[in-house]
């Protein structure tokens, strides 16, 4: 029956896969086999997967095929960043210190995915301890360029049609940046929306679990499952959104393609009927990325890495050692002052959303940089991660090397559903399905 499908099953989204399995038009095993075939054909170049065992994935699929429908993700393969615990495969954090590490239980988010019928296809490559020391993963659009990080493998695997969706984590920009670089949708929910039990910490007051997909429908499906809700029809806006455009205090550091993405999107959305206006945030927001990345994150990183620092320092990358050393130099008073500044800005941001439904801001400095020695600058995403706001990137534009460049949308805290409704309106107005992922 599967041979009659016009497209291989691995090219379908999560919602489409679930629908076809429920209708008897595909089996869970057939879906997994198509994903495995794509991985076999491409992962020698993309290098998105680690701790990957096809037999574990197939075994899960066969169990699902023999039993009743478990939930809305029944038979849908999902990739997991290798900082998220799984009971049936290693979790190694991109570090030799944890080589072969076998957790006794799934992370909370993984258990919820399995409960909904998802198949854990495998673990995706991550920067060391969700930091910045890159794995070997390449950008599926051009292997000479970085896929971004630290959720490198998750973004690359989704973009290359190896898996319809994958989980990542974001402390600075580790979901949205690789999503933008790889040309897929990336979503970071409001801080602490998703339980982080069983997920390696980097900076606990900022860390957020997020996900990468090739459609807004798929993002919403995973959101419902991970919030322990029954999926419902997407919320539709009753009127075109009020969109606030803030170029941020980092505008001059952005490359032409990122500036053009914001300017062109704002102009096109205005023509489509949205109320689009420029605005400026107060001076308190200036330099907020420095507090987020160089004060709070370094200080908290030094604490969560204490065991590795004291027992396995020589097995940490030079970059991670610098992070920890920087954290040790930050006083408790400096850390508390940084936390208070973030609290102040969260309060100041509230009234902005009385004027606007969603903010349109730059997502990345530009397209994915050439080379694999670094994963790109996270500062344009780090602002919003530290402010605990929900944010997402849409794959709307391309740069001078024909590599993807996304725009970033930001919503009010705890108003994620409204952000989704705005994003859907915006994508319908200016999106292009041909921009999403790599054409097989």
Q: Are 198 and 85 in contact (CB under 8 A)?
A: yes
185 assigned to some structural domain: yes
Q: Are 386 and 161 in contact (CB under 8 A)?
A: no
Q: What is the dihedral of CA 298, 303, 309, 310, to 10 degrees?
A: 150
96 and 199 inside one domain: yes
Average pLDDT over residues 390-418: 98
61 assigned to some structural domain: yes
193 and 110 inside one domain: yes
The conformation of residue 294, written as its DSSP 8-state character, comes to: I
Task: Using the predicted structure, report yes or no on whether residue 4 has a pLDDT greater than 80.
Answer: no
Confidence of residue 77 (pLDDT cuts 50, 70, 90): very high
235 assigned to some structural domain: no
CB neighbours of 27 closer than 8 A, spacing ≥ 6? 2, 21, 61, 65, 75
C-alpha angle 82/85/91, rounded to 5°? 45
88 and 203 inside one domain: yes
162 and 217 inside one domain: yes
The whole-number pLDDT of residue 78 equals 98
37 and 136 inside one domain: yes
424 assigned to some structural domain: yes
136 and 255 inside one domain: no
Task: Using the predicted structure, report yes or no on whether residue 3 has a pLDDT greater than 60.
Answer: no
Average pLDDT over residues 399-425: 98
The Cα–Cα gap between 266 and 155 comes to 26
The Cα–Cα gap between 419 and 359 comes to 9
Q: Which of 226, 255, 271 is the last residue of a domain?
A: 226
237 assigned to some structural domain: no
Question: CATH number, domain at 132?
Answer: 3.90.1300.10
Pairing outcome for strands 77-81 and 242-245: unpaired
The Cα–Cα gap between 340 and 88 comes to 41
The Cα–Cα gap between 155 and 23 comes to 29
345 assigned to some structural domain: no
- Helix (H) and strand (E) counts in the chain: 16, 11
Mean pLDDT of the chain: 97
The Cα–Cα gap between 86 and 93 comes to 12
Find the domain containing 112 and state its range: 6-226
Q: Are 52 and 114 in contact (CB under 8 A)?
A: no
The whole-number pLDDT of residue 435 equals 85
Average pLDDT over residues 97-114: 98
58 assigned to some structural domain: yes
Q: Are 159 and 165 in contact (CB under 8 A)?
A: no
Pairing outcome for strands 165-170 and 391-398: unpaired
pLDDT in tens, 276-313: 999 999 999 999 999 999 999 999 999 999 999 999 99
C-alpha angle 274/353/389, rounded to 5°? 110
34 and 79 inside one domain: yes
Q: Which of 41, 75, 83 is nearest to 57 (CA)?
A: 75
Average pLDDT over residues 400-429: 98
Catalytic residues: 81, 150, 174
357 and 218 inside one domain: no
292 and 275 inside one domain: no
Average pLDDT over residues 131-160: 98
Question: CATH number, domain at 391?
Answer: 3.40.190
The Cα–Cα gap between 326 and 334 comes to 12
197 assigned to some structural domain: yes
131 and 195 inside one domain: yes
Residue 285's alpha-carbon distances to 206, 293, 348, in angstroms, are 17, 14, 9
253 and 177 inside one domain: no
The whole-number pLDDT of residue 7 equals 87
Q: How many domains does the structure of the chain reveal?
A: 3
Average pLDDT over residues 306-333: 98
The string over 158-188, giving b where at least 16 C-beta atoms fall within 10 Å of a residue's C-beta and e elsewhere, is bbbbbbbbbbbbbbbbbbbbbbbbbbbbbbb
Confidence of residue 434 (pLDDT cuts 50, 70, 90): confident
The string over 325-342, giving b where at least 16 C-beta atoms fall within 10 Å of a residue's C-beta and e elsewhere, is ebbeebeeeebeebbebb
Average pLDDT over residues 373-394: 98
Confidence of residue 433 (pLDDT cuts 50, 70, 90): confident
109 and 257 inside one domain: no
The Cα–Cα gap between 169 and 62 comes to 29
pLDDT in tens, 208-261: 999 999 999 999 999 999 999 999 998 899 999 999 999 999 999 999 999 999
The Cα–Cα gap between 162 and 335 comes to 41
CB neighbours of 49 closer than 8 A, spacing ≥ 6? 39, 43, 79, 122, 123, 124, 125, 153, 157, 162
Q: Are 211 and 436 in contact (CB under 8 A)?
A: no
């Amino acid at each position: 029956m599967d041979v009659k499908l016009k497209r291989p099953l691995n090219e379908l989204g999560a919602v489409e896969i679930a629908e076809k399995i429920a209708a008897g038009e595909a089996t869970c095993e057939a879906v997994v086999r198509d994903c495995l075939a794509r991985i076999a054909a491409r992962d020698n170049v993309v290098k998105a997967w680690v701790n990957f065992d096809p037999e574990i994935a197939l075994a899960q699929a066969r169990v699902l095929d023999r039993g009743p429908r478990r939930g809305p993700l029944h038979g849908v393969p999902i990739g997991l960043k290798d900082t998220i615990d799984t009971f049936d495969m290693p979790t190694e954090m991109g570090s030799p210190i944890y080589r072969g590490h076998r957790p006794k239980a799934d992370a909370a988010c993984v258990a919820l995915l399995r409960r909904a019928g998802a198949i854990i296809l495998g673990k995706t490559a991550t920067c060391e301890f969700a930091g910045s020391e890159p794995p070997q993963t390449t950008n599926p659009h051009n292997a000479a360029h970085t896929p971004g990080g630290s959720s490198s493998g998750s973004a690359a695997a989704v973009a290359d049609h190896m898996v319809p969706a994958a989980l990542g984590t974001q402390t600075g920009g580790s979901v949205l940046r690789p999503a933008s670089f790889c040309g897929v949708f990336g979503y970071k929910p409001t801080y602490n929306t998703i339980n982080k039990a069983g997920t390696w910490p980097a900076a606990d007051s900022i860390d957020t679990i997020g996900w990468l997909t090739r459609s807004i429908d798929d993002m919403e499906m995973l959101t419902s499952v991970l919030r322990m809700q029954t999926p419902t029809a997407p919320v539709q806006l009753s009127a075109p959104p009020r969109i606030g455009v803030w170029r941020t205090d980092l505008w001059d550091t952005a490359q032409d393609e990122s500036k053009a993405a914001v300017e062109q999107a704002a102009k096109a959305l205005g023509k489509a009927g949205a109320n689009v206006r420029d605005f400026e945030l107060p001076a308190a927001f200036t330099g907020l990325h420095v507090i987020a990345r160089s004060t709070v994150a370094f200080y908290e990183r030094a604490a969560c890495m204490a065991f590795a620092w004291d027992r396995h320092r020589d097995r940490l990358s030079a970059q991670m050692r610098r992070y920890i050393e920087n954290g040790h130099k930050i006083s408790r008073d400096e850390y508390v002052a940084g936390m208070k500044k973030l609290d102040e800005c969260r309060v100041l941001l509230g009234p902005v959303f009385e004027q606007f439904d969603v903010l349109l801001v730059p997502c990345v400095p530009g397209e994915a940089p050439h080379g694999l020695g670094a994963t790109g600058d996270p500062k344009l995403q780090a602002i919003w991660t530290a402010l605990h706001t929900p944010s997402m990137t849409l794959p709307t534009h391309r740069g001078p090397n024909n590599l993807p460049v996304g725009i970033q949308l930001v919503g009010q805290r705890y108003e994620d559903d409204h952000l989704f409704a705005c994003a859907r309106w915006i994508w319908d107005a200016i999106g292009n399905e041909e921009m999403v992922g790599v054409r097989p």
